[in-house]
Amino acid sequence: MIPLKQQYFVYNINKDILISKSKKIMTHGHEVLNMMEGNCYASTQELIDAIIAQFGREERFFTCSADNMTAQELVCFLQERGKFKPSSNKTFTVDKNKICNHE
């Protein structure tokens, strides 16, 4: 497991973007879960590659309880919290029932 970096929320621009003390803009993990809807992944590495293709290698992510995560750290974080479910042909996708709906 990859350890999560220390949390340091500053303020939300909106519910999906956060700016850290270092002035780095981060994307909420919900954006990744939404990206996964309707798609299946054969491995966590395939998902990480898709996240990097969508958001960029340097992008950092935050959730309700952690921030400043890389794509790889975010995937581990989401997997540990049961946000994925098996789908056909030995692939996995997002479990829509496990996406929290808070503001």
Q: Which residue, chain included where needed, has tokens 């479990």?
A: 95
What pLDDT does residue 5 have? 42
Name residue 9's beta-bridge partners.
20
The per-residue pLDDT for range 34-72, each reduced to its tens digit, is 999 999 999 999 999 999 999 999 999 999 889 899 999
| pLDDT for res 98 | 87
For the domain covering 9-98, report its CATH number.
1.10.10
pLDDT in tens, 87-97: 988 999 999 98
**Residue 1 clears pLDDT 50, i.e. is over it:** no
90: left (phi over 0), alpha (psi -120 to 50) or beta: left
Q: Please tell me the predicted confidence (pLDDT) of residue 76.
A: 97
- pTM (predicted TM-score): 0.77
Give domain limits for the chain: 9-98
Phi, psi of 15, deg, nearest 5: -70, -15
Dihedral class, residue 31 (left if φ above 0, else alpha if ψ from -120 to 50, else beta): alpha
